[in-house]
Structure 1
């Protein structure tokens, strides 16, 4: 029999006083799709970085195809046949998609051939990409597609995927799964990290569970239920979402015939967007990444103040020309999809990051009350169970899920009147996702108008009262979530909606 593709024995990694991986053992066979499951901060990303050579372990041994190896860099990992798609992407914003992929290849390969390879691989996997686009104009979902295609172009023996399906429609997820199964059938091993427990049960052959940096369980996920996997991961069933209470009130945020040309040649133009969000309701917008979500949220949040003043109104007041700070003073808050760089400054502490949108600790003449600021940050860290070393921890030191909890907590703690949220639980474990969703529902029940833009259909079906779908810069009429189906929303993601029928649903 062939030796295991990858073996880890007694792998340990420490960061100062924190033990991220503690005596971890992991075995992946050729052609096996192996899930690594754990809540945010459990040590999954650290372990993957060790396998990929981005970090060196403090102790332990790695064996590749039966031979002990020391992987000292991603370059050495790629030379062995290991490819990885990180949750936090490693792309240069000023370069194009093709140029980013070209960087890791032999210099003899031409940029034109790289672009052709990207188009072919993207078409094979159903991942729409334009090689000539600069990365800085791409949404988070589109950047993830770049990472996936770049990894697949290497024809790896081991492919590490971290939350790979958050950019895809339900139909495209099934196509990707078919492709991954075919890839595994050729002998390629796959390490699969996802917080979607139904995906792990459907796709993976084996599962290793991490909690607090230690391996706490191994199982065949096909023999488990979603509830049993959740208990293995977080030690309990995820909390149930509270039932719907109350009814929607007056219109808080109104958009009428919002039409905006592209701000550059790679952006998406908005065409005739109209929607209402009432006090005490959550309205969801579904869609495949890159169909105008970024542009719409920029126009609503004030990052893009090019709209006609009356095209966007807040409690009857035209705000289309107002900037983000002015809109925030009127009660409109925004949680962007990109955590590092937009939601938080990576090199600043959690306390200092509060000052991006919160002013309670500011005193006369711009003085900052540091004690009050730290107390405010500590309160958010405690309420939202953010795993960190405290208010002084820099944002980039947190796992993606914990930073997301902190940013969500920062905005919810402000008690907004209107809240715009992009991808609220992207890359967040099942327990933290349930907590964030419950907080959004509680905010809605307190009378806030909430607009959620998400590519997680499960999330939208769980928390929203009405749904729209955005496709190619156009917005469908809304439909009550209770009347929508996954298949219907999947079709609408291609722009195929029946306006009269949907409009009738909105009227109800």
Structure 2
């Protein structure tokens, strides 16, 4: 209805994105009809949908890496505006809605949170009457999400309709007026999320969810250090990036440590250094006492370090390869998958099938192309691939980005089990609920510097939020 914020709920692969792509003109329906303002429509492409007043912000960013923010936004708008005029509009919109963004910055230098802002501002500049948002807060901090909610409520008050897809049920409860629930491609229920508990909504989506609980952290204080970072300073390889400043951190065997931080605080630069995409002096990083700072990615993996970047398509998976091929991307040195340069295709398929089975990846076939999977299912596959490799150290960014409640619980259980087996796990995430669920200790990254890692029992979301904003003394 006009002025309504309507939630669309469902587990990964339930059909939410397919339904929205049909409404937005990316796919054509086989049967039935779509009524837009009382009239049947069949949009031939997204341009036709936008012209009718429908805008969509996708979960996977549709941006050109080598173009600036302003150039990317211009591609979705009618011609006729100069870059300077458009840049002024972007700055005005970003200031009005609290979505800080530099129009002249190149997209490849942006963090995931900043890329999300580009998508949202691009959509708002089209003045839509219906705004579809697919997992809009998956890379936003709680403070950024609160700003977005203020924006959405303002848009709804203006008479616009918001169609909101998210797996974060508490935010659905706080924001939305009504919810429709999909399961296996069908509508199974609708409810008022303001009066329906998150647990009941999750059960309607995926069945009963068995949520894991964090282990007591006191038993790990004397465990040996598996991975250490000492005084890591690194100039950003982009002039507008964030320099890392004297970062030190220890990960002990059996421990899960979290790093929280606002988007653009240096997460991308830190991940590149920890994973081996940027090299440093050998002794700056050690794995089980051996220096690895100068080792590239493959050598670090051979030493027992697994790494999941924040960007799934293109960095963690190759879109046009099937899941069997994607299963071996980070495991080509494993003797059970490759022998003397020859691929063991049967073993590869068996490994892909095990990931699919253990992590309930849909569709359940190793022949599926990575780009055909929903964002949540692709994330489950990537996380399963790295966890089942049995690493000594796992470094992961946003492990449950875009996955449903049941899948998030499964991934959390797998991370806890990996730690209990003696691995050290580092989770870099903007989802504070996730960090408080998983971690034994937590540090905060702010403008390239890392705080001390405090025991989770000594922290609160309010305290961490202040530290994320640079108010460490107040915290």
Smaller-chain TM-score range? over 0.9
Q: In structure 1, what is the equivalent of residue 403 of structure 2?
A: 428
What is the Cα deviation at residue 364 of structure 1? 4.0
**Contact (CA 8 Å) 1:471, 1:493: kept in 2 or not?**
yes
1:443 CA drift (Å): 0.6
SS in 2 for 1:208: strand
Residue 64 of structure 1 deviates from its aligned partner by: 1.1
Q: Which residue matches 2:153?
A: 181
Residues 1:324 and 2:297 aligned together: yes
- Secondary structure at the aligned position of 1:271 is classed as strand
Per mean C-alpha deviation after superposition, the further-off stretch among 481-490 and 73-82 is 481-490
- Structure number with greater CO (CA < 8 Å, separation at least 6) is 2
C-alpha displacement of 1:445 = 0.9
| Alignment TM-score, normalising by the size of structure 2 | 0.96
Q: Which runs of 5+ in 2 are unaligned?
A: none
313, 322, 331: which one aligns with 2:286: 313
How far apart, CA to CA, are the structure 2 residues paired with 1:347 and 1:244? 43
Pairs within 5 Å for 1:468-483:
468-483=443-458
Is the CA contact (8 Å cut-off) linking 1:145 and 1:167 kept in structure 2?
Answer: no
- Which structure 2 residues correspond to residues 459-470 of structure 1 after superposition, within 5 A? 459-470=434-445
Q: 1:355 aligns with which of 316, 320, 328?
A: 328
* Cα 1:150/1:351, change in 2 over 3 Å: same
Give the whole-Å Cα distance in 1 for the aligned partners of 2:123 and 2:335.
45
Looking at structure 2, the residues matched to 167 and 296 of structure 1 have their Cα atoms a distance apart, in angstroms, of 17
Q: What pairs up with 1:62-461 in 2 under 5 angstroms?
A: 62-241=34-213, 243-244=215-216, 246-248=219-221, 249-305=223-279, 307-358=280-331, 359-461=334-436
- 1:238: how far off? 4.0
Local SS of the residue matching 2:457 = helix
Q: Partner of 1:491 in structure 2?
A: 466
What is the aligned-residue RMSD (CA, Å)?
1.5
Distance in 1, matches of 2:144 and 2:373, equals 31
Contact 1:444–1:450 (CA under 8 A) maintained in structure 2: yes
Query: How many residues get paired?
Result: 471
Residues 233 and 449 (structure 1), Cα distance of their counterparts in 2 relative to 1, 3 Å cut: same
Q: What are the ranges of 5 or more consecutive residues in structure 1 without an aligned counterpart? A: 1-28, 503-508
Residue deviations 1:223-254, cap 9 Å, x none?
A: 10111111111122343336447525111111
Higher deviation after alignment, 254-263 or 36-45: 254-263
How far off its partner does 1:297 sit?
Answer: 1.1
Whole-Å separation in 2 of the counterparts to 1:298 and 1:58: 44
**Equivalent residue, structure 1, for 2:26:** 54
Decide which moves more: 382-391 or 268-277.
382-391
Change (3 A) 1:66 1:490: same
- SS for the counterpart of 2:132 is strand
Deviation for aligned residue 1:168: 2.8
Per-residue CA shift, 1:125-181, capped at 9, x if unaligned? 222211111112222222111101111111210011111123333233222212211
* CA–CA separation in structure 1 for the residues paired with 2:440 and 2:300: 24
Give distance in 1, aligned partners of 2:335 and 2:229: 31
TM-score by length of 1: 0.90
Residue 363 (structure 1) shift: 4.3
- Superposed displacement of residue 401, structure 1: 0.9
Q: Distance in 1 between matches of 2:456 and 2:54?
A: 42
Partner Cα separation in structure 1 for residue 138 and residue 95 of structure 2: 18
Displacement of 1:490 in angstroms is 1.0
Contact residue 167 and residue 288 of structure 1 kept, 8 A: no
Q: C-alpha displacement at 1:471, in angstroms?
A: 1.2
Moved more, 326-335 or 307-316: 307-316
Greater CA deviation, 180-189 or 488-497?
Answer: 488-497
Contact in 1 for aligned 2:393/2:424 (Cα 8 Å) = yes
Aligned counterparts of 2:188 and 2:344: Cα–Cα separation in 1? 43
SS of the equivalent of 1:348 reads coil
CA distance in structure 1 between the partners assigned to 2:472 and 2:231 by the alignment: 18
335-344 vs 357-366, which moves further = 357-366
Kept in 1: contact 2:356–2:364 (CA 8 A): no
Rate the CA distance shift 1:360–1:347 in 2: closer, same or farther, 3 A: farther
Decide whether the 8 Å contact of 1:361 with 1:368 is kept in 2.
no
Instruction: Tell me how far apart the structure 2 counterparts of residues 128 and 254 of structure 1 sit (CA, whole Å).
Output: 34
Alpha carbons 2:220, 2:252 under 8 Å: kept: no
